[in-house]
Amino acid sequence: MTKVAIVTDSNSGISINEQNEDLFVLPMPFIIDGEEYFEEVSLSQEDFYKKLTGNANISTSQPSPYAVTELWDKALKTHDEIVYIPMSSGLSESCNTAKSLAKNYDNKVFVVNNQRISVTQKESVYEALELAKQGKSAKEIKDYLKQTKMDSSIYITVATLSYLKKGGRITPAAALLGSLFNIKPILQIHGGKLDAYAKVLSFGQAKVRMINAIKKDLETTFNEYYKNGEMVLEIAHTNNFEEAEKFKQEVQRAFPDLTVTYVDQLSLSVACHIGPGSLAIATSRIAKK
């Protein structure tokens, strides 16, 4: 039987400390005040948020081709094939770079443009691991992940508009008006792109609106999978643990028939654009047990 390794990046929310014999995690690089750091290698979550709130200049970066292929080479020492699940191509060029690199591996490396990030990407990684344990080939796993790549959505509300302003996603005037009137934007990630979804007047309203958005998705876009018991929920946040746990309780009351699989930090690649204090809810399709 072909032995398949699953490789992903830390944008999935999976720590390098959670690697095992079949799962390999590539730490994502960040440029902070001109210096390169690697998530959970030279940059902890705590240090990241200290620098972010300290007004450091933070930008995301692609993993180097050497870092990617070095990890693939390590995985291929003990496995016959690799399924590589990077963050969505809609948020980074790293997926396209990986596809080019994979051409040198004689069909041993299968790169999946899974159109996901954070908790939804994490669901895909663990599904891939389960399929590998069942004896599926790398191509079969890739085909499944491509088939289900659009079957997820994330809604995020931010605590402050200053980071969206800093990143150029809203104008300074809009940020000022939003702060004056306590406007909370709701953002959506579906198909790998971060887009505006709605605006509300309080954090409480934002949570209700996000729950209603998920309800609508389950009743329309994902209705068939929802009825078939193939949808789960996830909660995510940016350094907002206590509120995330409270939100989980609200979500469970709103969806008593669904499982909340994770309460995780949002990817730092997302956090650097939206700042700390954010809350998010996501839904993903998974294979029926």
Helix (H) / strand (E) element for 251: namely helix 241-254
pLDDT at 178 over 60: no
Chain segment 179-214, per-residue pLDDT in tens: 434 667 888 887 666 777 888 888 899 999 999 999
> pLDDT tens digit string along 111-160?
998 888 889 999 999 999 999 999 999 999 999 999 998 999 999 998 87
pTM of the complete model: 0.89
User: Would you say residue 270 has pLDDT above 90?
Assistant: no
Both structure tokens of 18:
């959670």
| pLDDT-derived band at 92, boundaries 50, 70, 90 | low
Q: How many helices (H) and strands (E) does the chain have?
A: 11, 13
CA–CA separation, 189 and 157 (whole Å): 12
Give the pLDDT confidence of 62-72 residue by residue, as tens digits: 899 999 999 99
* Terminal Cα distance for the chain, rounded: 23
* 270, 41 Cβ separation under 8 angstroms: no
* Two tokens, residue 177: 């008006």
Phi, psi (degrees; rounded to nearest 5) at 225: -70, -35
Our CA dihedral for 275, 276, 278, 281, rounded to 10 degrees, sits at: 100
- Residue whose C-alpha is closest to residue 187's, from 178, 199, 175, 176: 199
Q: Please state, in angstroms and rounded to a whole number, the distance separating the CA atoms of residues 237 and 43.
A: 18
- What DSSP assignment string belongs to 36-73? EEEBTTTB-HHHHHHHHHTT--EEE-PPPHHHHHHHHH
The conformation of residue 89, written as its DSSP 8-state character, comes to T
Spatial contact of 118 and 13, defined as CB atoms under 8 Å apart: yes
Tell me the domains of the chain and their CATH numbers: 4-28+63-147 (3.40.50.10440), 152-285 (3.30.1180.10)
